[in-house]
Amino acid sequence: MSLRGSIRLFSILLLLLILSACTYIEDYIPGQATPTAAPVETRVTVVPTLPGDTPTPTLAFTPTPAVPTATPTPAFTPTPTVPPKPYALQPGAVIALPAFTHPEAGCAWMGVGGQVIDEDGQPVKDLVIAVSGPQNGVPTDWMGYTGAASAYGLGGFEIQLAGQVASAQYTIQVFDLNGEPLSDPFRFTTSADCQQNLTLVNFSPNLNLQPAIFLPSISN
């Protein structure tokens, strides 16, 4: 090949090379990101559930049965039994009669007397006899001691209630020397009769025991 032909061939190759470089330069612009494929958008469509499409379950209300509250039963507290007192009125021993221990007093004396006997019918001394009642309209208490009035027996007592006869109501009760009651309180009523100015009261521990009432013999 001649020199001229070589130069022509070289010029053609150079031109092709320049054209290729221009094409590359058009496709690539410095500073511009290389285009990438656009992402495929994914869409989620939420379809609302229309009323009536799916039945809504209904909660059934089951009432809780009421539990009855038990009423507490009060605890039973037994009433303590009060033991009977050692002495009681001797049956038939409450008698109204003339005051044989004060025959001279007449209507100017009124009182109560008697005795206390044990289960064997023997007199009991050193017990307290308490009497309560009115004196001139004022509540009054009197005390006497068994064994202090032997005219009624060795366990006898006597208490003057007033200086004149009157109809009034009194209570009488037996105590020991420590103040412990030995009998229940018993009521008796005095008389306004001058021939009944003494109320005779005897106490006995046995209601079925009825010893003879002691009365002193009165001689002229």
pLDDT in tens, 92-140: 878 999 999 999 999 999 999 999 999 888 999 999 999 999 988 899 9
Residue 171 lies in a domain: yes
What is the pLDDT, as a whole number, of residue 125? 96
Asked, for residue 77, whether it belongs to a domain, the answer is no
DSSP 8-class letter at 208: T
Check which CATH number belongs to the domain holding 121 and give it: 2.60.40
Residue 159 lies in a domain: yes
Per the DSSP assignment, residues forming a β-bridge with 170 are 188
Residue-level pLDDT at 34: 52
Residues paired with residue 111 on neighbouring β-strands, in sequence order: 160, 198
Q: How large is the average pLDDT for residues 189-218? A: 74
pLDDT digits (tens, 9 = 90+) for 59-97: 455 666 666 666 666 665 666 666 788 899 988 878 999
185-207 mean pLDDT: 91
* Residues forming a β-bridge with 162: 110
Q: Which residues contact 209 (CB under 8 A, 6 or more apart)?
A: 90, 117, 119, 121
Q: Is the pLDDT of residue 162 over 90?
A: yes
pLDDT digits (tens, 9 = 90+) for 13-65: 767 766 665 554 444 455 555 555 555 554 443 444 444 555 555 545 566 66
CA distance 29 to 95: 154
Which helix (DSSP H) or strand (DSSP E) does residue 21 occupy? Answer: helix 3-27
Give residue 136's pLDDT.
84
| Residue 70, domain member (yes or no) | no
pLDDT computed for residue 123 by the predictor? 95
Structural domains in the chain (count) = 1
Let me know if residue 27 belongs to a domain. Answer: no
68: in domain? no
Asked if the structure places residue 69 within a domain, the reply is: no
- What pTM did the predictor assign? 0.58
pLDDT at position 79, please?
Answer: 66
Name the CA radius of gyration of the chain, rounded. 66
151: nearest Cα among 87, 84, 214, 70: 214
Q: Is residue 18 part of a domain?
A: no
- Residue 62: per-residue pLDDT: 60
pLDDT band at 12; cut points 50, 70, 90: confident
At residue 127, the 3 state secondary structure works out as coil
Measured CA to CA in angstroms, residue 205 lies from 117, 125, 175 at distances of 7, 14, 13
Token code pair at residue 10: 């070289």
Question: Which of 13, 173, 172, 195 is closest to 102 using CA atoms?
Answer: 195
Domain that holds residue 146: 88-204
Q: What is the distance between the terminal CA atoms of the chain, rounded to a whole angstrom?
A: 212
